[in-house]
Amino acid sequence: MNRQPKTRFHVLTFRCALAVGHLSAVGAEVQFEKDIEPILKQHCTGCHGPDEPESRMRLDRLASMLSGGDSGEPAIVPGDPKASYLVKLIRHKEPGKEMPPDDPLSEDQIELIEKWIASGAKTPESYGPAKAKADLSHWAFQPIKRVDAAGPDEFVRRKLNEHGLKLSCTADRRILIRRLYLVMLGLPPTPQQVDRSLGDDRESAWSELVEEVLASPNYGERWASYWLDLVRFGETHGFEMNRERPNAWQYRDWVIKSLNDDKPYDQFVREQIVGDAVDAPIGTSFLVAGPVDNVKGQDPLSRLQQRMNELDDMINTTGTAFLGLTTGCARCHNHKFDPISQRDYYAMQAVFAGVQHGDRTLPLSKETKGQIAKLDDEIANRTALLRKFIPRQVGASIVLDESEAQHSYAPSGTAAKHGQNQGDFGGTHYTWWKNEPGQDVVTYRPQAKGTYRVWLSWGSGYKTHSSNARYVIRAASAETSLAAVNQQLRADRSENDGKLRWSGFHDGGVHEFTRHDSIVLIGGSEGTAVTADAIVMQPVDQPADSPAAAGESAAVKPTKRPAVNWKRNVDSFPPRSARFVRFTIEKSSGAEGCIDELEVYSGGRNIALASSGAKATSSGDFVHPKHKLAHINDGQYGNDRSWIVSSKDGGWVQVEFPEPVVVDQVVWGRDRTERIKDRLPVGYRIEAATEPGKWELLASSSDRQPTGGSASETYQFAGCPSTEAMQGREWLDEMTRFQKQKADLEKSTTVYAGKFSQPGPTHRLYRGEPDARREQVGPNAIEAFASLNLPVDSPEQARRKALAEWIVSKKNPLTARVIVNRIWQFHFGTGIVDTPSDFGRNGASPSHPELLDYLAAELMDNDWSLKHIHRLILNSKTWQQSNRPNQEALRIDAGSRLLWRFPPRRLEAEAIRDSILAVTGVLDLQGIGGPGFSPFEVEMENVRHYHAKKSYGPEDWRRMIYMTKVRQEREHVFGAFDCPDSSMVVPKRSRSTTPLQALNLLNSNFVMQQADMFAARLEKEHSNVTEQISRTWRLCFQREPSTTELMDSRKFIEQEGLRQFNRALLNTNEFVFIP
Amino acid sequence: MNSFLNRRNFLSHSATGLGSIALASLLEEQRLLADETAPIRPQINPGQPFAARDSHHAAAAKNVLVIFCSGACSQIDTFDYKPELIKQHGKPMPGAEELVTFQGQQGMLTKSPWQFKPHGESGKMVSDLVPQLGDLADDMCFLHSLTGKTNTHGPGENFMSTGYTLDGFPSMGAWTTWALGTENENLPAYVAVSDPRGTPQASVNNWGPGFLPAAFQGTEFNASKPLGNLDIPAGVSSKTDKATRNFLNRLNQRHLEQFPGDTDLAARISSYELAAKMQLSVPEVTDLSREPKSILREYGADDSENKLKAQFARNCILARRLIEKGVRFVQLFNGAYQTGGEGVSNWDGHKSIEEQYSKHGPVLDQPCAAMLKDMKRRGLLKNTLVVWMTEFGRMPTFQKGASGRDHNPSGFTAWMMGAGVKAPFTYGATDEFGYKAVENVATVYDFHATILHLLGLNHKRLTYYHNGFERRLTDVHGHVINEVLAS
Q: Which residues contact A335 (CB under 8 A, 6 or more apart)?
A: A326, A327, A329, A341, A840
Determine whether the interchain pair A984/B167 forms a contact, defined as Cβ–Cβ distance below 8 Å.
Answer: yes
Query: For B416-432, what is the mean pLDDT?
Result: 97
Q: Which residues contact A953 (CB under 8 A, 6 or more apart)?
A: none
Q: Which of B239, B251, B270, B407 to mutate to test the interface with A (most CBs of A within 10 A)?
A: B251
Cβ count near B123 (within 10 Å):
11
Compute the Cα dihedral for B84, B87, B88, B89 and give only its sign: positive
pLDDT at residue number B20: 39
Amino acid at B186: N
Residues of chain A in contact with residue B251, where contact means CB-CB under 8 angstroms, are 1045, 1048, 1064-1065, 1068, 1070
What is the distance of C-alpha A807 from the center of its chain?
A: 28
Query: For A930-940, what is the mean pLDDT?
Result: 90
Burial (Cβ within 10 Å: 0-12, 13-18, ≥19) of residue B399 = buried
Q: Rounded mean pLDDT of chain B?
A: 90
B195 DSSP β-pair partners? B198
Start-to-end CA span in chain A (Å): 69
- Does the pLDDT of residue B2 top 70, yes or no? no
- Does the pLDDT of residue A722 top 80, yes or no? no
Q: Least CB-CB distance to B262: which of A163, A904, A978?
A: A904
pTM of the predicted model over 0.80? no
Residues of chain B in contact with residue A984, where contact means CB-CB under 8 angstroms, are 167-169, 210-211, 466-467
Q: Least CB-CB distance to A239: which of B167, B213, B267?
A: B167
Query: Chain B: residue nearest A310 by CA?
Result: B166
Alpha helix stretches (DSSP H) within A319-365: 342-352
Determine whether the interchain pair A293/B278 forms a contact, defined as Cβ–Cβ distance below 8 Å.
Answer: no
pLDDT at residue number A468: 87
Q: Least CB-CB distance to B260: which of A885, A973, A1056?
A: A885
- Does the pLDDT of residue B26 top 50, yes or no? no
pLDDT at residue number A944: 85
Triad A280, A284, A289: Cα angle to 5°: 140
A364 pLDDT band, cuts 50/70/90, is confident
Percent over 70 (pLDDT), chain A: 93
What is the distance of C-alpha A659 from the center of its chain?
A: 58
pLDDT at residue number B35: 65
Determine whether the interchain pair A887/B261 forms a contact, defined as Cβ–Cβ distance below 8 Å.
Answer: yes
Give Cα separations from A863 to A265, A267, A843 (angstroms).
8, 10, 28
Amino acid at A541: D
d(CA B24, CA B463): 20
Determine whether the interchain pair B261/A969 forms a contact, defined as Cβ–Cβ distance below 8 Å.
Answer: no
Q: Which residues contact B395 (CB under 8 A, 6 or more apart)?
A: B76, B101, B106, B405, B406, B407, B408, B435
pLDDT digit string, tens, across residues A61-101: 888 888 888 888 889 899 999 989 999 899 988 888 888 98
Q: What is the DSSP pairing of strand A529-532 with strand A597-602?
A: unpaired
**Shortest Cα distance from A897 to chain B (angstroms)?**
6
d(CA A562, CA A442): 29
Q: What radius of gyration, in Å, describes the C-alpha atoms of chain B?
A: 24
ω into residue B118 within 30 of 0, thus cis?
A: no
Determine whether the interchain pair B14/A834 forms a contact, defined as Cβ–Cβ distance below 8 Å.
Answer: yes
What is the distance of C-alpha A950 from the center of its chain?
A: 29
d(CA A431, CA A408): 13
Q: Least CB-CB distance to B275: which of A837, A998, A1064?
A: A998
pLDDT at residue number B459: 96
Q: Which residues contact A350 (CB under 8 A, 6 or more apart)?
A: A759, A762, A777, A778, A779, A780, A792, A799
- Does the pLDDT of residue A1011 top 90, yes or no? yes
Question: If contacts are CB pairs under 8 Å, which of residues 232-261 in chain B contact chain A?
Answer: 232-233, 236, 240, 243-245, 247-248, 250-252, 254-256, 258-261
**Shortest Cα distance from A334 to chain B (angstroms)?**
14
d(CA B151, CA A299): 9
Percent over 90 (pLDDT), chain A: 50
Determine whether the interchain pair A1064/B248 forms a contact, defined as Cβ–Cβ distance below 8 Å.
Answer: yes
Residues of chain B in contact with residue A1067, where contact means CB-CB under 8 angstroms, are 248, 272
Q: Least CB-CB distance to B154: which of A240, A298, A1052?
A: A240
Determine whether the interchain pair A299/B151 forms a contact, defined as Cβ–Cβ distance below 8 Å.
Answer: yes
Compute the Cα dihedral for B345, B348, B350, B352 and give only its sign: positive
> Phi and psi (nearest 5°) for B465?
-80, 120
Determine whether the interchain pair A992/B467 forms a contact, defined as Cβ–Cβ distance below 8 Å.
Answer: no
Contact between residue A629 and residue A621 where contact means Cβ atoms under 8 Å apart? yes
**How many contiguous H segments (helices) and E segments (strands) does chain A have?**
29, 33
Counting Cα atoms < 13 Å in the Cβ hemisphere of A743 gives 6
Give which of B457, B432, B459 is closest to B443, Cα–Cα. B459
pLDDT digit string, tens, across residues A30-64: 888 888 989 988 888 888 888 888 888 888 888 88
Residues of chain B in contact with residue A1072, where contact means CB-CB under 8 angstroms, are 268
Least confident of A325-329, A825-829, B160-164, B459-463: A325-329
Start-to-end CA span in chain B (Å): 28
Residues of chain B in contact with residue A1052, where contact means CB-CB under 8 angstroms, are 243, 247
pLDDT at residue number B189: 94
d(CA A934, CA A969): 12
Q: What radius of gyration, in Å, describes the C-alpha atoms of chain A?
A: 44
Contact between residue A467 and residue A526 where contact means Cβ atoms under 8 Å apart? yes
Q: Which of A232, A308, A993, A1032 to mutate to test the interface with B (most CBs of B within 10 A)?
A: A993
Stated as kind and residue range, the H or E segment containing A682 is strand A681-689
Determine whether the interchain pair A885/B231 forms a contact, defined as Cβ–Cβ distance below 8 Å.
Answer: no
Residues of chain A in contact with residue B166, where contact means CB-CB under 8 angstroms, are 291, 309, 983
Burial (Cβ within 10 Å: 0-12, 13-18, ≥19) of residue A920 = buried
Give which of A230, A274, A235, A237 is closest to A251, Cα–Cα. A235
Query: For A532-552, what is the mean pLDDT?
Result: 69
d(CA A667, CA A669): 7
pLDDT at residue number A1073: 96
ipTM above 0.85, yes or no: no
Q: Which of A337, A906, A997, A999 to mutate to test the interface with B (most CBs of B within 10 A)?
A: A999
Compute the Cα dihedral for A665, A670, A672, A678 and give only its sign: negative
**Shortest Cα distance from B333 to chain A (angstroms)?**
16
Determine whether the interchain pair B202/A240 forms a contact, defined as Cβ–Cβ distance below 8 Å.
Answer: yes
d(CA A1019, CA A195): 22
**Shortest Cα distance from B396 to chain A (angstroms)?**
17
Residues of chain A in contact with residue B18, where contact means CB-CB under 8 angstroms, are 894-895, 897
Query: Chain A: residue nearest B23 by CA?
Result: A847
ω into residue A129 within 30 of 0, thus cis?
A: no
A204 DSSP β-pair partners? none
Alpha helix stretches (DSSP H) within A748-846: 796-808, 815-828
pLDDT at residue number A388: 74
d(CA A639, CA A679): 11
DSSP A260-289: HTT--HHHHHHHHHHGGGTT-GGGGGGGG-
Q: Least CB-CB distance to A885: which of B19, B261, B337?
A: B261
- Does the pLDDT of residue A159 top 90, yes or no? yes
Residues of chain A in contact with residue B38, where contact means CB-CB under 8 angstroms, are none
Q: Least CB-CB distance to B204: which of A968, A979, A987?
A: A968
Residues of chain A in contact with residue B245, where contact means CB-CB under 8 angstroms, are 1002, 1064
Alpha helix stretches (DSSP H) within A199-330: 205-215, 217-230, 249-260, 265-274, 300-318
B5 pLDDT band, cuts 50/70/90, is very low
d(CA B275, CA A25): 80
Determine whether the interchain pair A984/B151 forms a contact, defined as Cβ–Cβ distance below 8 Å.
Answer: no
Query: For A93-113, what is the mean pLDDT?
Result: 87
User: b vs e for A215-245, b when ≥16 Cβ sit within 10 Å of the residue's Cβ?
Assistant: ebebbbbbbbbbbbbbbbbbbbbbbbbbbeb
Q: Rounded mean pLDDT of chain A?
A: 88
Contact between residue B453 and residue B459 where contact means Cβ atoms under 8 Å apart? yes
Give which of A883, A814, A889 is closest to A852, Cα–Cα. A814
- Does the pLDDT of residue A949 top 70, yes or no? yes
Q: What is the DSSP pairing of strand A501-502 with strand A406-407?
A: unpaired
Give Cα separations from A496 to A85, A425, A463 (angstroms).
106, 19, 10
d(CA A56, CA A70): 6
Query: Chain B: residue nearest A846 by CA?
Result: B23
Give which of A1053, A645, A988 is closest to A825, Cα–Cα. A988
Give which of A203, A199, A248, A253 is closest to A225, Cα–Cα. A253
Which residues in A494-560 belong to E strands, given as ranges? 501-502, 506-513, 518-522, 529-532, 535-539
d(CA B249, CA B12): 33
d(CA B62, CA B383): 5
pLDDT at residue number B395: 96
Stated as kind and residue range, the H or E segment containing A939 is strand A936-939
Amino acid at B433: F
